[in-house]
């Protein structure tokens, strides 16, 4: 199987998971905040995403996923409290959506094609920063960006990189991952929350 086929297969699996998850929310959205189970409105875009980003923090118990679709649909999911949830501090999932024009999506894809992303290795692991005490400092970050559209397909993962500013930037990640992270974070922050649930 070619790398492009693998990427599309991966996107297909993600799409099925999201669609089935969204359908579940439409039919069974009973939570403590919504005891009557009023249906949630989550418009999951049609088709497969052409851009996917995942930012995970294992020790913090946080997971963020951004999907951008060819037709301009944007889906952003935040999961928090995953590590040690409790009744007082349950794990939560927030769904947010947004929209681009097709031209904006095409411009973003053109940026990726010319960014140098295709020249990167598939995986980077930050070796750590040695402190005066002799301990090695790393973060619990796992960052993945995947692009699959037309003739361009690439997926890159970087782990353990440090940030000086609470996760706003990762200047030590291999370029252009550091710039891509900032650009996609800006897009994620433009989405509007449409539903929040406790994860059982």
Which pTM was predicted?
0.79
What digits encode the pLDDT tens for the residues 105-150?
A: 999 999 999 999 999 999 999 988 888 788 888 889 999 999 998 8
Find out whether the peptide bond into 153 is cis, omega within 30 degrees of 0. Answer: no
Residues 99 and 165: their CA atoms lie apart, in Å, by: 28
Residue 184 in contact with residue 168, Cβ under 8 Å?
Answer: no
Those residues with Cβ within 8 angstroms of residue 92's Cβ, 6 or more apart along the chain or in another chain: 79, 80, 81, 196, 197, 198, 199
Where helices occur in the chain by DSSP H, the ranges are: 3-27, 102-114, 177-188
Residue 195 in contact with residue 37, Cβ under 8 Å?
Answer: no
What digits encode the pLDDT tens for the residues 181-196?
A: 999 999 999 999 999 9
Domain ranges of the chain: 45-198
CATH 3.40.50.450 fits 45-198, yes or no: no
Those residues with Cβ within 8 angstroms of residue 185's Cβ, 6 or more apart along the chain or in another chain: 168
């Amino acid at each position: 199987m070619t790398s492009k086929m693998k990427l599309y297969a991966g996107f297909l699996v993600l799409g099925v998971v999201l669609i089935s998850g969204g359908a579940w929310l439409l039919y069974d959205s009973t939570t403590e905040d919504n005891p009557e189970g009023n249906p949630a409105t989550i418009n999951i875009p049609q088709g497969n995403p052409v851009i996917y980003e995942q930012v995970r923090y294992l020790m913090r118990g946080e997971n963020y996923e951004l999907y951008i679709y060819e037709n301009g649909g944007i889906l952003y999911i935040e999961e928090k409290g995953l590590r040690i949830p409790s009744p007082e501090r349950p794990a939560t999932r927030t769904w947010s959506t947004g929209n681009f024009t097709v031209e904006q999506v095409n411009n973003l894809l053109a940026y990726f094609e010319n960014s140098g992303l295709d020249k990167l290795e598939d995986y980077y692991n930050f070796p750590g920063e040695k402190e005066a005490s002799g301990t090695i400092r790393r973060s619990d970050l796992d960052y993945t960006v995947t692009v699959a559209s037309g003739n361009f397909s690439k997926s890159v993962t970087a782990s353990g990189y440090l940030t000086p500013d609470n996760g706003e930037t990762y200047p030590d990640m291999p370029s252009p991952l550091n710039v891509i992270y900032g650009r996609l974070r800006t897009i994620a922050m433009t989405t509007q929350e449409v539903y929040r649930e406790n994860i059982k």
